[in-house]
Amino acid sequence: MELHLAAVQVAWSATLYATPAAFTRRMLDLGSAAVAEAGPRPRLVAFPELIALPLLLTVAGDERALRAPTFAAALARLAPTHARHWLRSAWRARRLAPAAIYGRYAVDAYRIWFDTFAAVARATGAVVVAGSAFLPDVDEEPSRGWHVRDANVHNAALTFAPNGRLLARSAKVHLTPGAEQRAGLQRGRLEDLHPVVTPLGRVAVAICLDGFHERVLATLDGRGAQVVVQPSANDAPWDRPWPGDPRRSEGEVWLAEGLRARLQGRTSLRYGVNPMLVGDAFGLRPRGRSSIVANVVDAPELADVAQGATLPGLLALAPDPESEAIVSVQVPHPDEFALPSGGSGPLR
């Protein structure tokens, strides 16, 4: 049996978040395009990191905030009329901003995010990884309705089943130094990362920087994950000199040393899907080329799919690092592979 894997490279802009309806319509359109060639195959559609973050401004209902040049400027424009609500949120959560600001809009922003991608899953019949947002943990139960269950704010992703039911919330473990820490985020826990059972096999999420960490990939592999999704938003030019070695470019290192390389020789992990955010909004200009990669060690079944790849295991790559794109492949189900015999070693 074959699977259809798709990474949606979304170009964000302020207009995308003008209204909940505008956001939902665009995500439905992109989801439908992502499965256009899926046929009857089980399918997975993955969206980028931070795709739902600006919904915090959407629910604030102030167009001036959406037009602000940065998130900090957006909050400054909201402050005169919203500060008293932030203080109330801070009192309830027993903590000050920025967690209090997220908490003020958390439930409404979460509902738009949740409802949008549940609808995408139902419309496409796909397992959907709905990118990520900076939000506290939101839950629903009859006596309280939708509410903030835990005020700690994470960079977290949601995964939906093809019928639109939520399967998992996955919090980022390794925060980007500086930016995410200044944003008031708490680290997720490695022990909380688990794969979920789907028609495509066991699917797990490792948000952006997590996909570069050996501990994260080893943990997911050891827990039987077969497909790992790495939603990403890399706020750096794709062709800039890489800070770790200026002789190499950002994009070169991303593809040579990232998820593709770290999948090779794993016991259970077979595929990686890396949707990347692009565009220009709120003072951020993320860039990147979305990709789909495979563990090709002892995998002759993937020879045809990987034919012509510039790097071992690179199955598909977005054409450029700035434009909206959909990257997709059809590949054998991971259950069709024999477990590696060991000793193959990683490909670099």
Cα distances (Å, whole numbers) of residue 340 to 209, 221, 346: 26, 12, 12
> For the chain, what percentages of helix, strand and coil (3-state, to nearest 5) are there?
35, 30, 40
Q: What is the mean pLDDT of the chain?
A: 89
What pLDDT is stored for residue 344 in this prediction? Answer: 39
- Helix, strand or coil for residue 51? coil
CB 339 within 8 A of CB 254: no
Model pLDDT for residues 22-69, shown as the tens digit of each residue: 999 999 999 999 999 999 999 999 999 999 999 988 988 777 888 888
Model pLDDT for residues 128-183, shown as the tens digit of each residue: 999 999 998 999 999 999 998 888 889 999 999 999 999 999 999 999 887 787 77
Class of domain 2-336: alpha beta
What pLDDT is stored for residue 67 in this prediction? Answer: 82
Residue with more model confidence, 338 or 333? 333
How remote is the C-alpha of 157 from its chain's centroid? 6
Residue with more model confidence, 137 or 84? 137
List 152's β-bridge partners, or say none: none
Domain edges within the chain: 2-336
Model pLDDT for residues 102-120, shown as the tens digit of each residue: 767 889 999 999 999 999 9
pTM of the model: 0.91
What pLDDT is stored for residue 140 in this prediction? Answer: 94
The winner for highest mean pLDDT among 1-10, 69-78, 240-249, 337-346 is 1-10
Task: Give the confidence band of 83 by pLDDT, cuts at 50, 70, 90.
Answer: low
Residue 323 confidence (pLDDT) above 80: yes
What pLDDT is stored for residue 5 in this prediction? Answer: 98
What pLDDT is stored for residue 184 in this prediction? Answer: 77
- Closest alpha carbon to 166 in 175, 174, 157: 157
Task: Give the confidence band of 7 by pLDDT, cuts at 50, 70, 90.
Answer: very high
CB 133 within 8 A of CB 156: yes
What pLDDT is stored for residue 151 in this prediction? Answer: 82
